[in-house]
């Protein structure tokens, strides 16, 4: 195992993560703020009133399960159990799909393990007609909005049931009917598109808002700047979410951020409202999103939310995280697990217990296994995808021009 | 029928579509109150409102980025890039996003956007106000690229582009805005008055994307051109007394293969003209197509007349520009052989 | 003259400048801060200590001519008179070149009128070996550093004396020997290049720093974001200058900024030091630059400086500013003229008087006229540029590959 | 002499240059501690230090931007773009800046940068991990574009690129990293062991930019190929028993016109292969060059075998890829005619 190189041998500063494989990670320096959650200002406040929020951390759930403070939302036990189920379905699906990729059933997969509360809490706070511009780690939004898990799986399997006819790699879903924009493989590009979507909504005097996502790593793309800048200039009704899960493949967040500032703080200088939230705290995510949605819908413009969380799994099926960070880092990460934290909250409320939790976990697993079986029967990469090859010539344009028709005929000839 | 120059024809097309369809929005750097550095959007903000024709930050990537999002939300944005030389910061949004959205979502989302931008040299714009980057876009599946050479086509093509449900790059040869150009910088500048293609009908009409226009007909040689070079071709062939089929391609992707092959099969000789840098220019594709489809009819090698493989220099503008001398040499050579 | 359209007819917000042609501009709402110039912190302070500076305005020169406050630099009368001369030479050259363009001697020209102190004050505070990545409005830096004005003019005239052999349009100078990077026609691109230059300097353990410039309009390009982000991550020794001259061709600064925040504030969220300075106050520009240079040279990393000024002339010879802003706006702009302000200061110090000033103005004018005459004799666009056409094939690559040689021969053939 | 695969050969080239020249810096997304998603930079940070091989923010424009600035300050940066599909945000910095700096400053400043990036399909990477965008760069005067097809050339070309005083785009066909590829996905995967081009000398050597390599010699037909398609051509011609000149171009700009014309003048038949989308692909330029220079020698139309004019689909990978069937058809057709 390669060891950390001695260090810079010049004045060029290159940031390094605190721990690498072989180190014993110790996050005791990251204080988990218990009481200094910032106050909840009026959603239509002057953006300057939120500049402190960019540096602090909005939290609702204590580790004890208690929900406290200004931001504590008003959610019924029913809604919370529903959320828990979405979290657990998401995790179960990720688990299953990862394993099936390992068996060669699909080319690739990406888990959202550890970050499920960001997606689910966010989805709960929006209307289904609000358009999400997601990354590949917001599958929880689709699941919470009730998209067909079978269709999602078929997309990953690139099979006959794939609404995208096998055109895209796994996880790059498109579900317009669920307000879920087609995911691009190119990082960052959708941020500014979401701002444009919101501008169109304002132009049409419609109430719908856009919510755009990026990982903390991809904030370095120009599109992030475009998004903040255009959102500020035109007061676009949207939410700009940075999911800071600490890692961008093998690069720790200090490569994207520098070491001096939070990602939420990026918004301050553009005159945007800024919130920073414990992304493993579903109630906090919900509350922050609600606040930002209310602001956007009422003409207050965009909010930049940093969701502070941790990517527990590898980046994708293509990498092994123990090659660049300590194996047990996910366990010692001081903000806990979002499912565990919501579970403890529900138990604290006496609306849940361990037995029901185990039963639900089992139910999710079984349900996912059944759906998967059903999906896989429509084809997979290890066997036959059952996708018609000729579909590759479709949807390049609305109507295929002559040169594409000619190529279709060439393909016919070579397929004989 | 009005006598319009190309700027007026473009403005008219925008006005027609903005009047017909509230989903059509025009935006870009300086296009709003000021009406654009070439005046193509002058008066549109005053007539249609601040929210329909507005200034943007200087951010070509952002401009096309919001256009994609707006289009996905049902609008038909018509963004302007101030000079084609400045389109590169938007290259990713055009090639990876606008052109791919329909495909990657299998038709779930689409991007009906028309990107207007001035191209070409002839105005002493130097390296960064003279480029003709069309070949960087004709390689992009999912995108259409058109380029008018006259006011009539400019209006009709622009309306067709805006109505098209796919993204269209609409290139405006800036040297032609005020009149056709023979390629001789010392000749007195012409305007569009008196040119029949400067006669522009009022109201709505379209020129179909993908169809070439026959500028002149003749049996001696086929000249494939577009934009400014159409008028250089016309001037040179007239001066030489050559009977040429001059095809103004108008649309580069899709291209009008039928008109091209019909003509070359008839003449057996072909010269291709463009201002852009030679290597990997669109002329290469045309040359390849011609020899693939007309191999047995060809009596001489297909010739390309192009800008040189250098950036567009400032003081050496007319040494770089593929002007009458270069065109004449190529036509002579293609007609002499065999 | 077109009048302002009624307004938005939808909820889409599009910013508008306060005044358009036909309006009587009234800037009494812009208070010219007299006393609340922020304190001068230690140049190696934590960047957060400068976040207030991003919202205020560093000023040294009162309109009375007095120099006051924390930032008041220690400059000799000699240095000040030198600076004044650079300002006035710059203005005289701009004036002359603009007029000669009107006579067809060159294709294009861009004045820096009203903003000369930004360039000259900046140049005074740096070493000549520090590399400037300028825009087309920093000719004052070249002049103050002693570049050959004749060579500059020949560049604009694209003639036989042009060091660039006519390849570039006027004003896009390149003077490596004066630490003045080749200006790109593409806005913004050089910002991140300058950061890279600074990183290389740090890598080489050299003391040289980079200073990069952008207009406020071009801050919307992705390169601006790259520059701030990379400068922050690698603590690059550089200064990032935003010259906010209120206009980007016809667009007022609110289009680039939105209406909520200053340009200096953009830096706060990246963890950079931020200063905002009265750009018409040469002493303040000098002091702010000195501070930032000291910070960069000592390992403190980058500073973002907003130079608040006003573009008195049109954008270039290609536009007429009265078409988009009130004709007298330059005169009523409340921060005065940088030459006038420095002159009054020198008079206040009893180191200058009106007579000497007039004499200097006359001298500059004469000198410029002479140099111009000399330069023009080497060719111009109205007559013959005297540039060898074959130079266009040179410097595409270090060694021309075969295909370029072939084209050179083709050109030879057509030139017969 | 060592047996290396292409990843090792590339790493070795970097190591040789970093050891020789402290001005050589390697950086990009995940290239530092992790050693790159394809492992091409593994171990370099440990050996040469954090300041010589380091991770960057996910910002392709920023990566090339700092490279230009570093190069102007005397260094020789070797940035990596993780996949060529993600190079577009850097397009402006490459085309407008790196490639133009020498010209616009008339040699006052230069940009000796080598941009490494993996290209091509064959690994189920779909639309955004399979592209071959070379033609978007061969149109850019001031830039060089090279693409090796084997470990020996990869090392020699990369060293030459780093030592070149102009910017070079260095494309790495990712399907070849671990072994040559016949184009048949069902055949057992080969590695480089046993292939003579997998024999890589230790230390410093260069392969000149601009020279093609003759992979096989024959009188029947000329095949112009590069990258992955070189091995497809080899497999297909061997299987067909055709005696072909297979030219591995290696360098697309500058290109080796002499080798191309010598071969086509000899064989009279030419097939051009590339993975990229057909229209305006680099094959168009090659086709144009061949017919311009070998017109009278040609006995059949020059044929192009390419990817289709669609984005690179995921499930339909092998229907899109210009595999053995498509190549065979073209060779047969070009050999049948006349
Ligand atoms: C433009 C672009 N550059 C690079 C990549 C390759 N890539 C895919 S994901 C990834 C890391 C993203 O990290 P982050 O933004 O933090 O999101 P996360 O994966 O942590 O959710 C990279 C570099 C890409 N897809 N697009
Ligand atoms: C990438 C790019 N986009 C657009 C332009 C056209 N353009 C040249 S200057 C300018 C305005 C710049 O304004 P600002 O940045 O405020 O600088 P100023 O001219 O005020 O000094 C524009 C839009 C360009 N040169 N490059
Ligand atoms: Mg991340
Ligand atoms: Mg400005």
Chain C residues within 8 A of A233 when measuring between CB atoms:
15, 254-258
Q: Do B282 and D280 touch (CB under 8 A)?
A: yes
Digit-coded pLDDT (tens) for D138-166: 999 999 999 999 999 999 999 999 999 99
Q: The tokens of D322 are what?
A: 């210009």
pLDDT tens digits along C301-319: 999 999 999 999 999 999 9
Range of the structural domain that residue A392 is part of: 387-416
Is D88 close to B100, i.e. CB distance below 8 A?
Answer: no
Whole-number mean pLDDT of chain A?
Answer: 95
Contacts of A224 in chain C (CB under 8 A): 225
With bands split at pLDDT 50, 70 and 90, how would you rate the model's confidence at A2? very low
DSSP secondary structure letter of residue C181:
P
Q: What span, in angstroms and rounded, lies between the C-alpha atoms of C363 and B20?
A: 62
Contacts of A254 (CB under 8 A, 6+ apart): A15, A16, A17, C233
**Which residues from chain C sit within 8 angstroms of residue B313, using beta carbons?**
166-167, 391-392
Percent of chain D with pLDDT over 90: 99
Q: What angle do CA B114, B119, B123 make, to 5 degrees?
A: 145
Band (pLDDT 50/70/90 cuts) for residue A46 is: very high
CB A121 within 8 A of CB A292: no
Query: Which long-range CB contacts under 8 A does C71-78 form with residues at least 24 apart?
Result: C71/C37, C71/C40, C71/C283, C71/C284, C71/C287, C71/C288, C71/C291, C72/C283, C72/C287, C73/C283, C73/C286, C73/C287, C73/C290, C75/C124, C75/C283, C75/C286, C77/C346, C77/C349, C77/C351
Among C314, C349, C351, residue whose Cα is nearest residue C330: C314
Could you tell me the pLDDT band of residue A29, with boundaries at 50, 70 and 90?
confident
Of A197, A227, A396, the CB nearest to B72: A197
Please check whether residues A298 and A199 belong to one and the same domain: yes
Question: Domain B2-176 adopts which CATH fold?
Answer: Rossmann fold (3.40.50)
At C6, the pLDDT band (50, 70, 90 cuts) reads very low
What is the largest distance, in Å, between two alpha-carbon atoms of chain C? 71
Distance CA A225, CA A222 (A): 5
Residue C260 is predicted with a pLDDT of 80
Same domain, A346 and A367: yes
Out of C133, C176, C230, name the one closest to residue D66 (CB): C230
Q: Give the start-to-end residue ranges of the domains of chain B.
A: 2-176, 210-336
Q: Give the ligand 2 atom nearest the CA of C110.
A: 19
Does pLDDT of A7 surpass 60?
A: no
Residue B94 to residue C188: CA distance in whole angstroms: 20
Residue C334: CA count within 13 A, CB half-sphere? 10
Write out chain A residues lying below 8 Å of B282, CB-based.
none
Shortest distance, CA C239 to any CA of chain B (angstroms): 22
When the pLDDT of each residue in chain D is averaged and rounded to a whole number, the result is 97
CB distance D285–B280 less than 8 Å?
yes
CA D180 to chain centre: 14
Dist CA D109 CA C60 (whole Å): 37
Polymer length in residues for chain A: 416
User: Using a 6 Å cutoff on CB, does residue A186 contact ligand 1?
Assistant: yes
Q: Say what the pLDDT of residue A416 is.
A: 83
> Predicted confidence band at C35 (pLDDT cuts at 50, 70, 90)?
low
Residue minimizing CA distance to atom 20 of ligand 1: A248
**C-beta of A114 in contact with ligand 1 (< 6 A):** no
Residue C403 and residue D95: Cα distance in Å, rounded? 19
DSSP string, C73-99: ----HHHHHHHHHHHHHHHHHHHHHHH
How crowded is residue C27: how many other Cβ atoms within 10 Å of its Cβ? 15
Rounded distance, CA A59 to CA A335, Å? 11
Q: What is the per-residue pLDDT across B174-210, written as a single tens digit (0 to 9) for each?
A: 999 999 999 999 999 999 999 999 999 999 999 999 9
CA distances for C170 relative to A290, A366, C109, C390, angstroms: 54, 72, 6, 20
Q: Which of C111, C356, C349, C241 is nearest to C341 (CA)?
A: C349
Q: Which of B48, B129, B204, B314 is catalytic?
A: B129
Residues of C in contact with D27 (CB under 8 A): none
Q: How confident is the model at residue C257 (pLDDT cuts 50, 70, 90)?
A: confident
**Are residues A186 and A134 both part of a single domain?**
yes
- C378 & C416 share domain: no
Q: How far is A226 from chain C (nearest CA, A)?
A: 7
- Are D241 and C387 contacting, i.e. CB atoms less than 8 angstroms apart? no
Judged by DSSP in three states, D248 sits in: strand
- C194 min Cα distance to partner chain A (Å): 15
pLDDT band at C5 (very low <50, low <70, confident <90, very high): very low
Q: Is the pLDDT of residue A34 over 70?
A: no
To the nearest 10°, report the CA torsion of C160, C163, C166, C168.
Answer: -160
- Other CB atoms within 10 A of residue A65 CB: 16
Of D30, D278, D325, the CB nearest to A251: D30
| CA-closest candidate to residue D9, choices D226, D215, D154 | D154
Partnered with residue A307 across adjacent β-strands are: A243, A277
- CA D138 – CA D252 distance, rounded (Å): 7
- Residue C392 shares a structural domain with residue C330: no
Please say if the pLDDT value at position A5 is more than 60. no
Instruction: Return the half-sphere exposure (C-beta side, CA atoms, 13 A cut-off) of residue B24.
Output: 23
Question: What CATH number corresponds to the domain at position C149?
Answer: 3.40.50.970
- Token pair, residue D175, equals 């399907």
Task: Reduce the secondary structure of A201-217 to three states and give it as a string.
Answer: HHHCCCCCCEEEEEECH
Q: In which band, very low, low, confident or very high, does the pLDDT at A6 lie, cut at 50, 70 and 90?
A: very low
Closest C-alpha to C121, from C146, C135, C97, C138:
C138
Q: Give domain status of residue C36, yes or no.
A: no
**Contact between D302 and B281 using a beta-carbon 8 Å cutoff:** no
Same domain, C289 and C407: no
Residue B186 Cα to chain centre, angstroms: 24
pLDDT above 90 covers what percent of chain C? 93
Does A216 contact ligand 1 (Cβ within 6 A)?
yes
Q: Which of B34, B38, B82 to mutate to test the pocket of ligand 2 (most atoms within 8 A of CB)?
A: B82
Q: Are B126 and B180 in contact (CB under 8 A)?
A: no
Task: Flag whether pLDDT at C8 surpasses 80.
Answer: no
Ligand 2 pocket: which residues have CB below 6 Å? B 29, 58, 82, 86; C 135, 137, 185-187, 214-218, 243, 245, 247-249, 311, 315
**C55 and C204 part of one domain:** yes
Cβ pair A258:C271 closer than 8 A: yes
Distance CA C184, CA C173 (A): 9
Task: Report pLDDT for D338.
Answer: 59
Nearest C-alpha of chain C: how many angstroms from B203? 24
Tens digits of per-residue pLDDT, C110-158?
Answer: 999 999 999 999 999 999 999 999 999 999 999 999 999 999 999 999 9
Question: Strand locations in chain D, DSSP E?
Answer: 2-3, 24-28, 53-55, 76-80, 114-119, 144-146, 168-173, 199-200, 213-216, 221-225, 244-248, 251-253, 270-277, 303-307
| Block residue for tokens 């090859």 | A389
Rounded Cα distance between A256 and A253, Å, is 5
Antiparallel, parallel or unpaired: β B199-200 and B2-3: antiparallel
Instruction: Identify all chain D residues contacting A391, using CB atoms and an 8 Å cutoff.
Output: 313, 316
**Which atom of ligand 2 lies closest to the CA of C249?**
11
Q: What is the pLDDT of residue A8?
A: 53
Sheet holding B244-248, edge to edge: B213-216, B244-248, B221-225, B270-277, B303-307
Rounded CA separation C68/C283 (Å) = 10
C90-C95-C99-C101 Cα dihedral, nearest 10 degrees: 30
Smallest CA–CA separation between D87 and chain C, in Å? 14
Residues from chain C that touch B125, judged by Cβ atoms under 8 A, are 169
Question: Mean pLDDT across chain B, nearest whole number?
Answer: 97
- pLDDT of D94-125, one tens digit each? 999 999 999 999 999 999 999 999 999 999 99
Asked whether the beta carbons of residue D102 and residue C395 sit closer than 8 angstroms, the reply is: yes
Residue to mutate (ligand 1; options A17, A249, A325; most atoms within 8 A of CB): A249
pLDDT by residue (tens digit) across D248-280?
Answer: 999 999 999 999 999 999 999 999 999 999 999
DSSP single-letter state for residue D95? I
Burial code (b: 16+ CB inside 10 Å, e: under 16) for A98-128 equals: bebbeeebbbbbbbbbbbbbbbbbbbbbbee
Q: Is A187 in the pocket of ligand 1 (CB under 6 A)?
A: yes
Best probe of the A interface among B54, B96, B105, B112, by most A CBs < 10 A, is B105
d(CA A238, CA A243): 16
Ligand 1 pocket test: which of A218, A256, A318 has the largest number of ligand atoms within 8 Å of its C-beta?
Answer: A218
**Is D96 in a helix, a strand, or coil?**
helix
Helix (H) or strand (E) holding A238: strand A238-244
Q: Are B315 and C166 contacting, i.e. CB atoms less than 8 angstroms apart? A: yes
Question: Is position C1 within any domain?
Answer: no
Q: Is A137 in the pocket of ligand 1 (CB under 6 A)?
A: yes
CA distances from D167 to A141, C224, D101 (A): 44, 23, 10
Same domain, A286 and A408: no
* Whether residue A248 has pLDDT greater than 70: yes
A322 CA from centroid of ligand 1 (Å): 18
CB C408, CB C390: distance < 8 Å: yes
Residue in B75, B109, B254 closest to A174 by CB: B109
Please name the residues in contact with C327: beta carbons below 8 A apart, sequence gap of 6 or more.
C21
Same domain (yes/no): A353, A391:
no
The DSSP annotation for C207-276 comes to: ---EEEEEESGGGGSHHHHHHHHHHHHHT-SEEEEEEE-SEETTEEHHHHH-SS--SGGGGGGGT-EEEE
Do residues C340 and C207 both lie within one domain?
yes
Q: Are residues C252 and C401 in the same domain?
A: no
**Domain assignment of residue C189, yes or no:** yes
Q: Rounded to the nearest whole angstrom, what is the distance from the C-alpha of residue C12 to the centroid of ligand 3? A: 33
pLDDT digits (tens, 9 = 90+) for C369-412: 999 999 999 999 998 999 999 999 999 999 999 999 999 999 99
Angle at C212 between CA C211 and CA C217, to 5 degrees: 150
Note the Cα C395 to chain centre separation in Å.
Answer: 28
Q: How many CB atoms lie within 10 A of CB D203?
A: 10
- Cβ–Cβ gap A401/B210 under 8 Å: yes
C214 C-alpha vs ligand 2 centroid, how far in Å? Answer: 9
Element (H, E) at A131: strand A131-133
Separation of alpha carbons A277 and A332, rounded Å: 20
What does the pLDDT look like over A57-112, one tens digit per residue? Answer: 999 999 999 999 999 999 999 999 999 999 999 999 999 999 999 999 999 999 99
Pocket test for ligand 1, best of D82, D125, D130 (most atoms within 8 A of CB): D82
From ligand 4's centre to the CA of C247, what distance in Å?
Answer: 4
Active-site residue flag, B129:
yes
What is the mean pLDDT of the segment spanning C241-257?
97
Q: How many CB pairs under 8 A join A and B?
A: 143
Whether residue C310 is found in the same domain as residue C237 = yes
- Which site among D315, D330, D333 would you substitute to test the A interface, given the most A Cβ atoms closer than 10 Å to its Cβ? D315
Residues of chain D positioned with their CB less than 8 A from the CB of C235: none
Interface of A with C (CB under 8 A): 10-15, 47, 54, 199, 202-205, 220-226, 229, 232-235, 237, 254-261, 265-272, 299
Q: Which residue has the higher pLDDT, A37 or A244?
A: A244
pLDDT digits (tens, 9 = 90+) for A143-197: 999 999 999 999 999 999 999 999 999 999 999 999 999 999 999 999 999 999 9
C197: left (phi over 0), alpha (psi -120 to 50) or beta: alpha
The reply to whether the predicted model has a pTM over 0.95 is yes
Query: Rounded distance, CA A176 to CA A153, Å?
Result: 17
Mean pLDDT for A9-15 is 90
B338 pLDDT exceeds 70? no
pLDDT in tens, C216-231: 999 999 999 999 999 9
**Total number of domains constituting chain A:** 2
CATH of domain D210-336: 3.40.50.920
Tell if the CB–CB gap between A158 and D310 is shorter than 8 Å: no
pLDDT at B219 over 60: yes
Tell me the nearest-neighbour CA distance from D323 into chain C, angstroms.
31
pLDDT at residue D50, rounded to an integer: 96
With the C-alpha atoms ordered C367, C368, C371, C372, is the resulting torsion angle positive or negative?
A: negative
């Amino acid at each position: 195992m390669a060891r950390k190189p001695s260090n810079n041998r010049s004045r060029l500063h290159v940031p390094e993560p605190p721990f690498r494989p072989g180190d014993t990670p110790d996050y005791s320096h990251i204080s988990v703020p218990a009481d200094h959650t910032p106050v909840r200002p009026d959603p239509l406040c002057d953006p300057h009133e939120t500049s402190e929020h960019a540096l602090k951390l909005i939290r609702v759930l204590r580790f004890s399960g208690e929900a406290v403070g200004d931001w504590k939302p008003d959610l019924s036990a029913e809604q919370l159990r529903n959320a828990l189920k979405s979290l657990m379905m998401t995790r179960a699906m990720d688990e299953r799909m990862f394993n099936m990729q390992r068996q060669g059933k699909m080319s690739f997969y990406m888990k959202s393990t550890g970050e499920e509360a960001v997606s689910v809490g966010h989805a709960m706070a929006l209307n289904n007609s609000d358009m999400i511009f997601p990354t590949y780690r917001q599958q929880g939004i689709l699941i919470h909005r009730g998209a067909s898990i079978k269709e999602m799986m078929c997309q990953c399997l690139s099979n006959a049931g794939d609404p995208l006819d096998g055109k895209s790699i796994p996880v790059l879903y498109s579900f317009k009917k669920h307000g879920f924009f087609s995911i691009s493989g190119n990082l960052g590009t959708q941020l500014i598109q979401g701002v444009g979507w919101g501008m169109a909504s304002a132009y049409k005097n419609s109430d719908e808002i856009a919510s755009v996502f990026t990982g903390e790593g991809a904030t370095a793309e120009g599109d992030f700047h475009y998004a903040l800048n255009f959102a500020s200039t035109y007061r676009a009704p949207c939410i700009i979410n940075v999911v800071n899960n600490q890692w961008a493949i093998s690069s720790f967040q200090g490569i994207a951020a520098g070491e001096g500032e939070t990602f939420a703080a990026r918004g301050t200088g553009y005159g945007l409202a800024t919130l920073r939230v414990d992304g493993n705290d579903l109630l906090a995510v919900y509350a922050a999103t609600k606040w930002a949605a209310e602001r956007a819908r009422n003409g207050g413009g965009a909010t930049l939310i940093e969701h502070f969380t941790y990517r527990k799994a590898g980046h994708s099926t293509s990498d092994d995280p123990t090659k660049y960070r300590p194996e047990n880092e996910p366990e010692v990460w001081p903000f806990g697990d979002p499912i565990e934290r919501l579970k403890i909250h529900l138990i604290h409320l006496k609306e849940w217990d361990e037995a029901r939790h185990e039963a639900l976990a089992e139910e999710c697993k079984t349900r996912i296994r059944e759906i998967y079986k059903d999906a896989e029967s429509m084809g997979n990469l290890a066997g036959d995808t059952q996708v018609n090859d000729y579909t590759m010539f479709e949807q390049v344009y609305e109507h295929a021009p002559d040169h594409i028709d000619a190529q279709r005929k060439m393909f016919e000839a070579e397929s004989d | 029928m009005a006598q319009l120059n190309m700027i007026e024809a473009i403005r008219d097309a925008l006005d027609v579509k903005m009047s017909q369809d509230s989903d059509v929005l025009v935006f870009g750097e300086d296009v709003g109150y000021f009406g654009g550095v070439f005046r193509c959007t002058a008066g549109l903000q005053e007539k249609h409102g601040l929210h329909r024709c507005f200034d943007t930050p200087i951010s070509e990537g952002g401009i096309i980025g919001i256009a994609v999002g707006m289009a996905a939300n049902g609008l038909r944005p018509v963004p302007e890039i101030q000079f084609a030389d400045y389109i590169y910061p938007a290259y990713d949004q055009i090639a990876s996003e606008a052109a791919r959205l329909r495909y990657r979502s299998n038709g779930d989302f689409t991007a009906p956007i028309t990107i207007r931008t001035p191209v070409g040299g002839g105005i002493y714009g130097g390296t960064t106000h003279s480029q003709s980057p069309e070949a960087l876009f004709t390689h992009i599946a999912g995108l259409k690229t058109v380029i008018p050479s006259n006011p009539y086509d400019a209006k009709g093509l622009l309306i067709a582009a805006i109505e098209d449900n796919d993204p269209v790059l609409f290139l405006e040869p800036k040297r032609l805005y005020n009149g056709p150009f023979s390629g001789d910088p010392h000749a007195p500048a012409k305007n569009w008055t008196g040119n029949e293609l400067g006669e522009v009908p009022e109201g709505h009409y379209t020129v179909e994307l993908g169809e070439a226009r026959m500028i002149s007909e003749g049996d001696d040689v086929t000249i494939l051109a577009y934009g400014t070079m159409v008028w250089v071709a016309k001037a040179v062939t007239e001066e030489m007394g050559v009977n040429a089929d001059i095809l103004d391609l108008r649309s580069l992707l899709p291209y009008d293969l039928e008109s091209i092959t019909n003509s070359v099969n008839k003449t057996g000789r072909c010269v291709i003209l463009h201002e852009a840098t030679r290597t990997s220019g669109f002329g290469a594709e045309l040359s390849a197509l011609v020899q693939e489809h007309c191999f047995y009819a060809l009596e001489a090698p297909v010739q390309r007349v192009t800008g040189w493989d250098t950036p567009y220099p400032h003081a050496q503008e007319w040494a770089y520009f593929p002007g009458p001398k270069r065109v004449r040499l190529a036509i002579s050579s293609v007609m002499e052989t065999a």
